[in-house]
A and B are shown apart, each in its own frame.
Chain A
Amino acid sequence: MDCRISTPFTKEKAAELHIGDMVYLTGTIYTARDAAHKRMMEAIRQGRPLPFDLHNSIIYYMGPTPARDGRPIGSAGPTTAGRMDAYAPTLLDLGETGMIGKGRRNEAVRQAVIRNGAVYFAAIGGAGALLSKAITSAEVVAYEDLGTEAVRKLTVQEFPVIVVMDSKGNDLYEIAASKYCTE
């Protein structure tokens, strides 16, 4: 099913989505990859504030290429989500409701998704040029020294993603291949 979703991404909105749904996101999302996640975890441990409010937030696992003049961002496709598995359950427990990346997640993430009624979306890997067209603004909000890994606040307009793990913990990757497997 195709649907359009605006941020903030509440649990009510998350509950309506099912694996295989094509979702067009509009609103505000935040980028963070390995190094930014590590710093956020340190901030949580030390009781320091996070770069943005996690409540009903969507984190996009992405590190862009530099923007050319007159553009908000460069190429901007998803990175492998599994590298964030060590950190994601903590952030989900603190209010994050959506993750965008690509590739499989571990069982701890799946359990955190179920526990919190969150959703894991896949963006098309290797389609960074195309995906950049759905980003209308980008601003570094934390950890600027990390370069491409800094936390960015993105404004997106009909950003295309696919639900690969829904709030019930169903995993599209687990079932997708079997349909076309001819071994």
Chain B
Amino acid sequence: MREINVAAITSCVRQMCMDANYHLSPDMQARLFEAAETEQSPLGRQILEKLKENLEIAAADQIPICQDTGMAVVFVEVGQEVHLTGGDVSSAIQEGVRRGYQDGYLRKSIVRDPLTRVNTGDNTPAVIHYTIVPGEQVRITVAPKGFGSENKSRLFMLVPADGVDGVKKAVLQTVREAGPNACPPMAVGVGIGGNFEKCACLAKQALLIPTDQQSEDPQIRKLEQELLAEINKTGIGPAGLGGTVTALALHVKTYPTHIAGLPVAVNICCHVNRHETMVL
């Protein structure tokens, strides 16, 4: 049994909220830079160059890449040999978000109640997903998610007869409807299988996969490649103003499902696909 004081978790979460908002992960940044070279539209290339410049300014001035610094999504994998001490772990995570958003000059975008809509003033609460895993470590990922793209995400309860073509149709339809609203070029996370809520979570987790990592399952790898190619044929392009780069990355995560169902979730993210991970 290893003891970890939750104060260490607060400190990590605070730091990751800030880092994620000032810097893109190197893999995501590399895809954006590559796109600025390959984009066929002159206006599209100009926009991608501006986005590159935006990243440089954000890093140099410690100013958020995007003013929508998101709702903080926190994935916590707790080793079952770990004993968390010093207080309630969820409160410690929320405190980390509170301090990160305050100390990092990040936007407070959360309202207490979805209907009465009064801002909480500190960007809490975050959405926290816990998993218990073997081992004696705690692995925390902070993924601040903007809502321009979150609003364009969709969940489809397909039927088995829809098959892989139905999955493709659902993804393409979601991307087309998102269009310029989701600040393309996008990152696309696709969940297939599980049930209603599991599928949505898979799609969110698919956005965390490094852009250069491919699925180990040949069938899924092929699906990822085909979907990305088809999305980039839509012509939506950077900022939705036409071009050959509409998505920078697409990943699929699957889970066993019921004999009667084929759930598909599509989580759209803009190019500011932010996430930071720390292991305690």
Interface residues in chain A, defined as those with a beta carbon under 8 Å from any beta carbon in chain B = 20, 35, 62-68, 71, 74-77, 79-80, 82, 102-104, 122, 124-130, 132-133, 146-149, 160, 162, 164, 172-173, 176-183
Contact A177 B235 (CB under 8 A): yes
List of A residues within 8 angstroms of B236 by Cβ: 176-177
A179 to B233 CA separation, bound complex (whole angstroms): 11
The 4 tightest CB contacts between A and B, nearest first, are A181-B235, A125-B183, A176-B242, A103-B181
In-complex Cβ contact of A74 among B40, B105, B151, B183 (8 A): B105
Interface residues in chain B, defined as those with a beta carbon under 8 Å from any beta carbon in chain A = 40-41, 43-44, 47, 50-51, 53-55, 57-58, 61-69, 105-109, 117, 119, 121, 148, 151, 179-183, 230, 233-237, 239-244, 270-272
Contact A74 B181 (CB under 8 A): no
Sample of 4 more A-B contacts, CB < 8 Å, known A63-B68, A102-B180, A173-B180:
A65-B69, A104-B181, A176-B241, A183-B234
A80 to B241 CA separation, bound complex (whole angstroms): 15
Contact B69 A182 (CB under 8 A): no
Contact B119 A147 (CB under 8 A): yes
Closest to A123 in B: B239
Closest to A133 in B: B57
A162 with B107, Cβ < 8 A, contacts A68-B62, A125-B183, A132-B63 known: no
List of A residues within 8 angstroms of B272 by Cβ: 126
Contact B50 A62 (CB under 8 A): no
A180 with B108, Cβ < 8 A, contacts A65-B64, A130-B53 known: no
